[in-house]
Structure formats: C-alpha cells, structure tokens
Structure 1
Amino acid sequence: MKQNENVIYLVDLFKGNDLEKGIGDEEGKLIFDKLVFFIDHKPQYKIFYISIKDVVFDASFAREALVRLAKHYRKKKGICLLDADMEMLRLNLLAPVLSLDQPMPYYSGGVFDHIKTDKIGVPSKTNLPIFKFVFDNGTTSASEVAEHFDHKVNNASTKLKSLYEEGFLLRTEDKSDSGGVEYQYYAIK
C-alpha cells in the first residue's frame, strides 16, 4: 500500500528549511508550497502519505501546511498522515479540520482513523456504513453498494457522491456494461 515514492517525511522538510518546529502561518505556507511541489511532480500517485514522526507543530501550521493541502487536492488526490501517534499533534489538527471542513485521515500504530470530534471530521451516521464498506473492499461502485445494503442504485450513488464531495473518497471513471459512465470509489487510506 505505502510506497516510498509517495511518502513524505515532514521531518526532512523541516530540516531542509532550518525549522525545528512548525510554528505559525508563514512556516505552514512554506511547507505547503514544498508539499505541493513534491505532489505535483508525482502525477502517477493518487494518494500521498505524510509522516509526522519526530516533528512538533501548532494548529496554525497544521492548518496552512497539512489540512489546507488536503483541501487543495480534494477530489483529485488523497492526503493521509502517518505516524500520528502523538495526541497533542492530532489535537492541533482538530481546529483546522473544523475550520476548513476537510477530513484528515491518519494512521497511528497501524490503526486507521480520522481527526474528529463527535460528528465533525467523519462521515455522517447514515454514510458511515457505506464508507466502511468502501474502505474494506478497496474499490466499489454504486451498484455494488446498492446490492450489499439493499438500496436502490440511485440512492447508493447519491451517498457515494456525497462521501466523494466531502473529501472522504476518491473516484475513477469506468465504462459500464450499458455503455454509460460508472464511477469506482475508493477510500483515502
């Protein structure tokens, strides 16, 4: 799943810019630009992993560098954090997730989750089972979701599109058997 060419180590960007900690908007914007440059030069990847191991940052930095990056690529590429073991860093990501209305997936100790509080930062209660289904199955279509949950295809399609629009899923276009377009959805994981 995670390959070195699409994994970015934030600590390396800090060292390359003489930063010890990510403090404030300006440092966040500096790192944002470096991350965009890296991602734009690797068009073959749809999901990028940013390791936050061995770094410290505040909420302003997190907003400008990490959450804004995920929002910048929303519906085009996925951003997922790795090594998000420090609760303090996850808390520093919470306010930016809320203010930018942008989901931020992460791994901590090999366990996947989203930066969240109550109903913010995660799929809605009605869409959560569909998100979990897509997460567990890799890629899926509206017809597969409809069959699994005993929904009508247009209802499943609406729910998948909502998860896509909200930044929880990515999608690719396929041709359906009928000759039309069918989307294949996959989780940012």
Structure 2
Amino acid sequence: MVGDELRDEPFEPEVLSSDLVYEGRVWDVRSDRVRYGDGEIVRQYVDHTGAVAIVAIDDDARVLLIQQYRHPIRHRDWELPAGLLDIEGEEPLLAAQRELAEEADLEAAHWEPLVRTFATPGGSNEIVHFFLATGIAPLADAHAREEEEADIRVEWMPLTDAVDAVLGGRMHNALLAIGLLAAERRRAGE
C-alpha cells in the first residue's frame, strides 16, 4: 500500500458478552468476550466518552500550553487545553470551544478540525478530536476553577519551540505531541 491507500480498517467481531466491571464518575471499565478467528478472546478496556484537544495559535505563531497536576503520572505536565465529551450529544467543536473558555478564558474566531486519534487503542475506546483555533481573544469573565484546574499555569510559546521540546524529550504528553506536530505540518502547508 502507498500514500492515501493506507488506513485503519473497521472490524466488528461478534461480541458474545459485555459486562460492566466498574462504573466510574467519568468513564467505565468493561470486559468483553469476543469471537475472534476460530476462538474467543476476553478484553477489558476503559469505555470512554471521548475528548477534544485545542491547538490555539495566536497572531505571533505562539501556541497556548497549560500545565496542571496529573495524579496517575505524578507530574505537572504541559498540555493542550482539552476536555471530555461529557455533555450528552454535544458536538466536538462545541466541546472544544467550551474547553478553551473554561481552561484558558479565551475564545477563537476561527476553528478547523486538525486530526482525530485513538488515545490508547489497546486499553480504551477513547477518540480525541483535535481542533486548530486562531483569532484568539480573551473572554470578559474568568471561569472559576477547582481541583487540578485550580492552579493551571498558562504559557504562550513559539510553536517551533514547543515542537522542539516534545522532540527533545522535555514534554511527554501524547495529546500535546500529536496536536503540535499536526499543527506544525498544517501551517507548513499554508
């Protein structure tokens, strides 16, 4: 296969059973028994609502990064503004606009889809919708933040420097890496 012929292929094996193992506040854990080939397999996975991530770039080609504490990795990592599709029926673009406002007190005049990705396909059905946001402006009112969001640090960094930090191993967030590389590639084609 070459170029545009190479793509993921949907595959729907027969699901013999699907049990809720854990019901969480945000996502659940399921255990599925699936007919596969001549036999059966059992797989546990996080049943996820999906998410959005925003690559916000200002008029000076700087990208918005946020830093917040993430307990599973015991780090305050650099990230893109992002959030869950946790409102029933909410379109990904509307969720992205909401998240940019909630996490950074910003709005954008222009939005375009950037890329979609499976976050961890071996352990979750989460799909992340990335958007490129430009024409950035501050909101009149700041949002109240709680828990990990209470001490979010916001930085604007030249896009090229942020990409260098990812490729140099100084920033490790997967969504950050995907979003920055996709945005840099998109902007190089302009």
What TM-score, normalized by structure 1, do the two folds share?
A: 0.26
Q: Which has the higher contact order (CA 8 A, sep 6+)?
A: 2
What TM-score, normalized by structure 2, do the two folds share?
A: 0.26
Q: Which has the higher helix share?
A: 1
Q: Which has the higher strand share?
A: 2
Which one has a bigger Cα radius of gyration?
Answer: 2
